[in-house]
């Protein structure tokens, strides 16, 4: 009898609970469908959503507080300026330059011309510097990503410098869709921008030792200036100060140039204790 009562009770329980189970199942199914839709949408737009959120929270320091960290680190201007390493990244006769040769404000760009992203970043920096082209000098130096390996882009780039077509060389390298993998590819490119094949053969036969020495000098300078410790290229120096380190973020490049053109030091004297 007791067993029969339990069976009856269970039948009543399941019978009464059946609508609840069905409803719960429907809710879970709808929730699952919504989650799949959400994940699908995020897969398509998540990068943009994340980027938008990052941009909305991104705070670019103003010229007034960009040196806040160095103000906290050093009690006075003398110690702050001495904390910065000033490298000897000078112009050499084989380097290609733009701008005002007599300017006291010198921007040095170490870059690997075979790197598509590096070339795009260099083009962005040059657009930033365009308003200053009559006030500063920009010096281009070769910096192959692998300093101990031969670089066709550096070697043929230096030939382009010698032949006066380096700007055309940079333009072609930045716009070239296919990778440059062989010397023949570079022969074709240089021929396209105005260096004849006979002229190239003469350079390769009689001047390559000098060309390779020029590239090697740039690499040696990059090593001594700590450029190879940077995570990205191009590596930028303003009057010998390496940007991206030592409290000098690269996105304030034009601010440093403005200060130097105005006869000020790269780090302001104001803001330090006792100054």
Q: Write down the architecture of domain 85-245 according to CATH.
A: 3-Layer(aba) Sandwich (3.40)
Average pLDDT of span 52-69: 51
Instruction: Please report where in the chains the tokens 């904390």 appear, as a residue.
Output: 83
Average pLDDT along the chain? 79
Please list, in sequence order, all residues whose beta carbon lies within 8 angstroms of the beta carbon of residue 240, skipping any fewer than 6 positions away.
Answer: 86, 87, 88, 89, 106
Average pLDDT of span 175-190: 88
Which pLDDT value is given to residue 244? 85
Which pLDDT value is given to residue 177? 80
Which pLDDT value is given to residue 246? 64
| Interatomic CA distance for residues 190 and 117, integer angstroms | 21
268 vs 36, higher pLDDT: 268
Which pLDDT value is given to residue 149? 62
pLDDT of residue 10 exceeding 60 = no
Q: What is the pTM of this model?
A: 0.73
Q: Find the distance separating the first CA and the last CA of the chain, reported in whole Å.
A: 99
Is residue 63 within 8 A of residue 109, CB to CB? The reply is no
- Percent of the chain scoring above 70 in pLDDT: 73
- Compute the chain's Rg from CA coordinates: 31
Q: Considering only CA atoms, which of 231, 229, 226, 234 is closest in space to residue 125?
A: 234
Using one digit for the tens of pLDDT, what is the confidence trace for 128-179? Answer: 999 999 999 999 999 998 765 668 999 999 999 999 999 999 999 988 888 8
Q: Out of 21-25, 91-95, 102-106, 201-205, which region has the weakest mean confidence (pLDDT)?
A: 21-25
Tokens of 94: 């084989």
pLDDT of residue 14 exceeding 80 = no
């Amino acid at each position: 009898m007791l067993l029969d009562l339990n069976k009856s009770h269970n039948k009543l329980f399941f019978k009464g609970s059946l609508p609840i189970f069905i409803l719960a199942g429907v809710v879970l199914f709808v929730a699952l469908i919504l989650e799949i839709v959400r994940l699908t949408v995020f897969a398509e737009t998540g990068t943009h959503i994340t980027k938008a959120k990052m941009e909305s929270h991104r705070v670019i320091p103003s010229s007034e507080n960009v040196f806040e960290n160095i103000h906290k680190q050093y009690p006075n201007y003398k110690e702050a300026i001495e904390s910065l390493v000033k490298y000897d990244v000078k112009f050499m006769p084989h380097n290609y330059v733009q701008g005002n040769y007599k300017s006291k404000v010198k921007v040095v760009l170490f870059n690997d011309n075979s790197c598509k992203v590096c070339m795009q970043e260099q083009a962005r920096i040059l657009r930033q510097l365009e308003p200053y082209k009559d006030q500063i000098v920009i010096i281009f130096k070769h910096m192959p990503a692998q300093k101990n390996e031969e670089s066709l882009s550096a070697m043929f780039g230096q030939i382009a410098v010698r032949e006066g077509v380096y700007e055309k060389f940079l333009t072609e390298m930045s716009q070239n869709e296919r990778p440059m993998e062989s010397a023949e590819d570079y022969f074709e490119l240089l021929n396209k921008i105005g260096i004849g094949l006979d002229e190239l053969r003469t350079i390769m036969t009689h001047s390559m030792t000098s060309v390779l020495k020029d590239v090697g000098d740039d690499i040696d300078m990059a090593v001594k200036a700590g450029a190879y410790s940077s995570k990205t290229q191009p590596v930028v120096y303003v009057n010998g100060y390496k940007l991206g380190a030592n409290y000098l973020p690269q996105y304030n490049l034009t601010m440093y140039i403005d200060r130097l053109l105005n006869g000020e030091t790269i780090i302001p004297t104001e803001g330090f204790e006792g100054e």
